[in-house]
């Protein structure tokens, strides 16, 4: 079993590292896949492990994106002048400025959403079930509208990111650079969550999902864990947002940053598709979802959303527990569950 694990992680890591060189044309798509996996995995911290369906994680995505962009620009140039009328003056980042700004921006893009998650979480994580879901749904929508009214970050005009510095490398190098940053992020997220789920923290999250009142009665400060859980999600989602902004190159408040109808829904869908509440579920879900969508996008132009709708219906009807859940039901012994054959047969005959 140990050896098997090693082969699995080794081959995945190997795949991630060499992918941009084997499939150079698909670098961008695979980079997006890593981002999607991060979104699905972090959503699963709430939606799957903790049993709190949130639609608000997109808030951190957008905030991270704007924070990263503003830092990258604001560190070296007056931000207001940059965004006013979409950059009436043309500012050019030198290579050191670009990378300094980028890394500082990325760190802040993680930390600030994390703080916001802590503050908001303190206020609303007392809500449960549908009330929490609706409340977070409102957060994402409100954030988009508010961002669309703030002049210094371009308001409805949107914001253009600093271009890749001219004197180093070409566009290939740029794609490779962002590819590896995305890959590093997905690995970091995975390793962190795998570790976190193996500690008491993971058990508490599951306890909250299974019976929050009982967990509280057992002396667990559930609120504290709920807030920390959300902050963890916000940290990784914020960084993903900062990366996304740089890869797309243009931030639009409602369509790119606080993209509730697209990424906001996708992250939920991917986690459920793969199987929520499992470590691998969101990863598999995101991969399947991305392939499915890209495939339809290319070969059945204009039908991709119809197909997506059908996919959702199929998932809900036939795989309510997701791909992982379905596999688990079908092959429980492969998940380390012991099935008593006699017991199972007895149940059948009882019917």
Using CB under 8 A, list all residues that contact other proteins: 1, 4-5, 7-8, 11-12, 15, 22-23, 25-29, 32, 85-88, 90, 145, 148-149, 155-158, 160-161, 163-164, 171, 174-175, 244, 248-250, 252-256, 259, 262, 280, 284, 287, 291, 297, 301-302, 304-305, 327, 331, 334-336
- As a whole number of angstroms, the distance between CA 261 and CA 259 comes to 6
With respect to other proteins, which residue has the nearer C-beta, 30 or 133?
30
CB of 8 to other proteins, least distance (A): 5
**Contact between 178 and 247 (Cβ < 8 Å):** yes
**Contact between 271 and 69 (Cβ < 8 Å):** no
With respect to other proteins, which residue has the nearer C-beta, 177 or 201?
177
- As a whole number of angstroms, the distance between CA 3 and CA 25 comes to 33
With respect to other proteins, which residue has the nearer C-beta, 122 or 280?
280
Torsion angle of C-alpha atoms 260, 300, 276, 60, degrees rounded to 10: -20
Indicate left, alpha or beta for 92 from its phi (over 0: left) and psi (-120 to 50: alpha).
beta
Among the listed residues 61, 114, 68, 76, the one whose alpha carbon sits nearest the alpha carbon of residue 249: 68
- As a whole number of angstroms, the distance between CA 56 and CA 270 comes to 16
CB of 119 to other proteins, least distance (A): 26
CB of 33 to other proteins, least distance (A): 9
With respect to other proteins, which residue has the nearer C-beta, 206 or 287?
287
With respect to other proteins, which residue has the nearer C-beta, 116 or 257?
257
CB of 115 to other proteins, least distance (A): 26
CB of 247 to other proteins, least distance (A): 8
- As a whole number of angstroms, the distance between CA 185 and CA 240 comes to 8
Among the listed residues 277, 234, 310, 256, the one whose alpha carbon sits nearest the alpha carbon of residue 32: 256
With respect to other proteins, which residue has the nearer C-beta, 23 or 195?
23
End-to-end CA distance of the chain: 38
CB of 110 to other proteins, least distance (A): 21
């Amino acid at each position: 079993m140990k050896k098997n694990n090693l082969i699995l992680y080794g081959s995945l890591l190997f795949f991630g590292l060499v992918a941009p060189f084997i499939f150079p044309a698909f670098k961008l798509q695979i980079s997006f896949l890593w981002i999607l996996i991060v979104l699905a995995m972090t959503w699963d911290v709430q939606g799957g492990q903790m049993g709190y369906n949130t639609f608000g994680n997109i808030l951190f995505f957008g905030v991270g994106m704007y924070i990263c962009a503003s830092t990258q620009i604001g560190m070296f140039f007056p931000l207001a002048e940059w965004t006013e009328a979409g950059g009436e003056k043309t500012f050019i980042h030198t290579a050191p400025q670009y990378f300094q700004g980028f890394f500082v921006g990325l760190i802040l893009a993680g930390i600030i959403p994390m703080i916001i998650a802590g503050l908001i979480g303190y206020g609303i994580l007392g809500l449960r079930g549908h009330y929490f879901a609706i409340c977070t749904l409102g957060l994402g929508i409100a954030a988009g509208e508010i961002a669309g009214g703030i002049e210094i970050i371009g308001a409805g005009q949107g914001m253009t990111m600093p271009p890749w510095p001219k004197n180093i490398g070409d566009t290939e190098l740029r794609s490779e650079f962002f590819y590896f940053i995305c890959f590093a992020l997905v690995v970091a997220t995975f390793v962190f969550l795998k570790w976190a789920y193996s500690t008491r923290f993971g058990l508490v999250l599951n306890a909250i999902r299974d019976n929050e009142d009982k967990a509280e009665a057992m002396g667990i400060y559930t609120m504290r864990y709920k807030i920390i859980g959300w902050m963890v999600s916000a940290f990784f989602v914020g960084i993903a947002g900062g990366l996304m902004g740089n890869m797309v190159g243009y931030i639009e408040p409602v369509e790119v940053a606080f993209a509730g109808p697209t990424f906001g829904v996708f992250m939920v869908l991917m986690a459920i598709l793969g199987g929520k509440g499992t470590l691998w579920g969101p990863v598999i879900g995101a991969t399947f979802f991305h392939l499915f969508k890209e495939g339809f996008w290319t070969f059945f132009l204009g039908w991709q959303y119809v197909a997506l709708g059908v996919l959702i219906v199929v998932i809900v009807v036939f795989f309510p527990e997701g791909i992982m859940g379905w596999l688990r039901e079908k092959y429980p012994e492969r998940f380390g569950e012991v099935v008593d054959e006699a017991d199972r047969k007895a149940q059948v005959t009882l019917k």
